């Protein structure tokens, strides 16, 4: 086991982006490490539930993003809109880069190692300036490959050459923030000595069963498995939800996570589709993606409820295609129908279908009640979906992504300490030589 180290985990985005980071933070703290979590201010209370963790707000920059006019692009299903949205998000980040950079600088502090979200594209530069090694960590496969295009663009496979070309957009985004980075670092002193190179440069927090590792990735890119915290003993479903789940045939779960696009329309869509289908549904409120006031009989609305405990008790899962929700549905062995809107969500929907665990994804904006009702009937009556989801669940049960990630972080800490020892050795030898008589 590596000696205890000081580790700063930097994340940005929605609850789905923050949850894997927090799971890793808790696992590292349990292993005896000193862990700081740098995240948006809205997650302070979530992090503070674990007294072993230190929280640093990197700002509230994106708190209003999903409620802004940019969110209207979620309703646009054109290829141009899907290409524009990552750039618009990055433009928002760039516009408020100084706030984010200052927050990240404070979160980095005197850490031995930085683990950062890819949206914080300046984080490795801040770490390098401080002489601290950094590892990128993501729940999506964003390392360059010819196997599939950059997943956050929501594009179909366009062939190996063009697939790989889409990753050049990341370099373009770095160029967009380069001058702001230089301005931020100006006056903060000269850079420290170059940090040691690490064997692991990237960790991906998803299962290789769900997305097999491309053969053209470099050795430093590691797929660990999902970073899913085990349900705590005190976690419970409410007695009202338990009663609803057990009162008749298992319902389906329908939820759209952190995507607050047209909540009234989504409510009407779900209610009418479930009526046509003839079953029952648990509806996830998320960040307001579905209006849940005055639901008719046969529906139950839930807020922040542990999916790990709920999904095994439903017949199937209908969701937006977030990386975490996708993995949790498959881990529960439940058929899934993905109704993506934006970013990497279509990618995960296609992966569910490729695994045989659900029908092809259909974008939420293109769904109407008859189409959703037909999808619900197919989802719960086609035995092949449940069988395939069960096979995936068995594979996921054998994985421990958090343990693998902790081992990689501790290996990195050992490499860092070895590099420091090597750097100290010449100085010690020189001191001994100078102390010897002439």
Give yes or no: residues 262 and 201 share one domain: no
Asked, for residue 212, whether it belongs to a domain, the answer is yes
**Sheet arrangement for strand 299-302:** 299-302, 281-284, 252-255, 316-319, 336-338
Query: Which of 105-114, 192-201, 232-241, 420-429 is predicted least confidently?
Result: 420-429
Is the pLDDT at 88 greater than 80? The verdict is no
Give yes or no: residues 116 and 148 share one domain: yes
In the numeric block, the tokens 């930097």 are attached to 10
Residue pair 344/323 in contact by the 8 Å Cβ criterion: yes
Give yes or no: residues 218 and 253 share one domain: no
How many domains, in total, are found in the chain? 2
**Mean local confidence (pLDDT), 255-267:** 78
**Mean local confidence (pLDDT), 213-232:** 90
Give yes or no: residues 122 and 214 share one domain: yes
**Sheet arrangement for strand 34-39:** 54-57, 34-39, 6-10, 113-116, 134-138, 202-204, 221-223
Give yes or no: residues 316 and 387 share one domain: yes
**Mean local confidence (pLDDT), 262-282:** 92
Give yes or no: residues 141 and 254 share one domain: no
Asked, for residue 169, whether it belongs to a domain, the answer is yes
- Exposed, middle or buried by CB within 10 Å (0-12, 13-18, 19+), for 206? buried
Asked, for residue 188, whether it belongs to a domain, the answer is yes
Asked, for residue 232, whether it belongs to a domain, the answer is no
Give yes or no: residues 188 and 170 share one domain: yes
Give yes or no: residues 296 and 374 share one domain: yes
Q: For the domain that residue 268 is a member of, what is the CATH number? A: 3.40.50.2000
Query: Which of 43-52, 284-293, 354-363 is predicted least confidently?
Result: 284-293
Structural domain for 380, as ranges: 239-395
């Amino acid at each position: 086991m590596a000696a205890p180290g000081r580790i700063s985990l930097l994340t940005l985005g929605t609850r789905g982006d923050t949850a894997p980071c927090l799971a890793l933070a808790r696992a590292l703290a349990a292993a005896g490490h000193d862990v700081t979590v740098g995240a948006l201010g809205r997650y302070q209370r979530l992090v503070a539930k674990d007294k072993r963790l230190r929280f640093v707000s990197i700002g509230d920059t994106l708190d209003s993003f999903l409620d802004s006019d940019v969110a209207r692009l979620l309703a646009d299903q054109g290829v141009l809109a899907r290409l524009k949205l990552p750039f618009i998000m990055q433009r928002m980040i760039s516009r408020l880069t100084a706030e984010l950079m200052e927050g990240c600088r404070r979160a980095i502090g005197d850490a031995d190692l930085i683990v950062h979200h890819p949206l914080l594209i300046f984080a490795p530069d801040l770490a390098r300036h401080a002489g601290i090694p950094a590892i990128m960590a993501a729940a999506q496969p964003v390392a360059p490959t010819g196997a599939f295009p950059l997943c956050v663009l929501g594009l179909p496979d366009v062939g190996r050459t063009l697939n790989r070309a889409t990753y050049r957009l990341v370099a373009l985004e770095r160029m967009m923030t380069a001058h702001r980075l230089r301005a931020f670092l100006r006056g903060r002193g000269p850079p420290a000595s170059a940090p040691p190179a690490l064997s692991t440069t990237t960790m991906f927090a998803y299962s290789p069963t769900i997305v097999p590792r491309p053969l053209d990735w470099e050795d430093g890119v590691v797929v660990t498995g999902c970073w899913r915290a085990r349900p705590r003993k005190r976690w419970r479903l409410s007695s009202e939800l338990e009663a609803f789940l057990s009162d008749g045939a298992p319902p389906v779960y329908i939820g759209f996570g952190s995507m607050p696009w047209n909540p009234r329309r989504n409510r009407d869509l779900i209610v009418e589709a479930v009526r046509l289908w003839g079953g029952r549904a648990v509806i996830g409120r998320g960040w307001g993606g579905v209006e849940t006031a005055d639901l008719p009989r046969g529906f139950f609305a839930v807020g922040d409820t542990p999916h790990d405990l709920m999904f095994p008790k439903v017949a199937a899962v209908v969701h937006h295609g977030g990386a975490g929700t996708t993995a949790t549905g498959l881990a529960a062995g439940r058929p899934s129908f993905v109704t993506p809107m934006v970013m990497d969500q279509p990618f995960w929907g296609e992966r569910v279908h490729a695994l045989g665990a659900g029908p092809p994804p259909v974008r939420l904006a293109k769904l109407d009640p008859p189409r959703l009702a037909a999808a619900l009937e197919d989802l719960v009556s086609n035995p092949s979906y449940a069988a395939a989801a069960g096979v995936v669940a068995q594979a996921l049960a054998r994985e421990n992504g958090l343990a693998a990630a902790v081992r990689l972080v501790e290996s990195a800490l050992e490499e860092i300490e070895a590099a420091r020892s090597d750097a100290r050795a010449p100085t010690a030898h020189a001191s001994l030589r100078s102390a010897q008589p002439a």
